[in-house]
Amino acid sequence: AQKVTQAQTEISVVEKEDVTLDCVYETRDTTYYLFWYKQPPSGELVFLIRRNSFDEQNEISGRYSWNFQKSTSSFNFTITASQVVDSAVYFCALSGTSGTYKYIFGTGTRLKVLA
Amino acid sequence: DAGVIQSPRHEVTEMGQEVTLRCKPISGHDYLFWYRQTMMRGLELLIYFNNNVPIDDSGMPEDRFSAKMPNASFSTLKIQPSEPRDSAVYFCASSRKIQGTRTEAFFGQGTRLTVV
């Protein structure tokens, strides 16, 4: 079975602090894909990043960075110098390559950035 | 591209009424997904289609729910009869494979359904 766990239900930080959102996944597939999505208060789901299981390079995009570690089945997301506009619910998702073509989402982490 | 388009954005209906949610996927995408989001259960996959064919409907809660995809550019999710516990935000998403590589799913704005 495939599963995504986001143990942090809610995190509050003060603006300009760095924050890391954790994501742990389970899959038996050797090839799989991991994703992060952002859901701002307006409600839409915005794609942030995709990573395949063969690419363990960390990625940085502006203030966002992602740390993928197969050894610990984790795909963590760090926001550097957080801003109020980063306040949202963040979802980690997994899609395997055996069986059905599903995107399995974690329960999300609500990030509140306080001014 | 206009993205995934869902209609209506909001729907309020009385218990027992039929509700139809609509989705237009991104052109060229051959996978279409229906998700439901609630506070209690998070984002649940209800059903997905590949090339207009339903592949996995194991997430459909019960026989009151049905989904169709008559062509590559249109899908519906129908609830008949609706019940208050069906109140949720329903998302449609689409994606495609590129040379065997799975891409991300793009989501519509969602339909907020309230059954009173």
pLDDT at B96 over 70: yes
Least reliable range by pLDDT among A56-70, A78-92, B65-79: A56-70
Give the pLDDT confidence of B1-20 residue by residue, as tens digits: 689 999 999 999 999 999 99
Confidence of residue B62 (pLDDT cuts 50, 70, 90): confident
Q: Which residues of A touch B23 (CB under 8 A)?
A: none
Would you state the pLDDT for residue A59?
Answer: 85
Beta bridge partners of B74: B71
Q: Which residues of B touch A108 (CB under 8 A)?
A: 42-43
Question: Torsions phi, psi of A71, nearest 5?
Answer: -60, -30
CA dist A83 and A87 (Å) reads: 8
Q: Does B74 touch chain A (CB under 8 A)?
A: no
Q: Are B105 and A97 within 8 A, CB to CB? A: no
DSSP string covering B32-67, please?
A: EEEEEEETTTEEEEEEEEETTEEEE-TT--STTEEE
As a whole number, mean pLDDT of residues B97-114 equals: 91
Q: Nearest Cβ partner of B103 from A50, A91, A107?
A: A50
Task: Decide if B111 contacts B8 (C-beta within 8 A).
Answer: yes
pLDDT at B77 over 90: yes
Q: Nearest Cβ partner of A105 from B31, B43, B55?
A: B43
